[in-house]
Structure 1
Amino acid sequence: MHLKGKAQKKYEFGNKVSIVYTLNTGVIVGAMGFRNQYDGHTLEGALDQHEKLSGKRAKRATVNRGYRG
């Protein structure tokens, strides 16, 4: 048996959510839902949405370990 993710759970299913907020003020400037995609494949879409809504491309992004690889 191969365990993935949290202990005691064989598999994890569901949606992922990407929240984009400003580092200075913490104001949320974008949010998107994704259907069980690898985290690294969601970053470009989230940054594109931020650019579309704010008119500016983010210069820096901070992500969790799920984005590596």
Structure 2
Amino acid sequence: MTHKKEGIIRVIENLSAISDENAASTEEMSVAIEEQTASMEEIASSSETLAKLAEEMQLNLSKFKY
């Protein structure tokens, strides 16, 4: 009976360790996703700025056309 009890305790400890590892991995993924989202927002903002600059350049260049 003691062997079964010890076996069950080991299984529970292993499951607890796996659960802790999963929680840590999930937290790391969450941080990575937040960083990626911030990068995507920065890229989108930069794209908008570039589009506005390109439009301004087109307007300025059109002044030099005959």
TM-score by length of 1: 0.24
Larger relative strand fraction: 1
Looking at secondary structure, tell me which structure has more helix per residue: 2
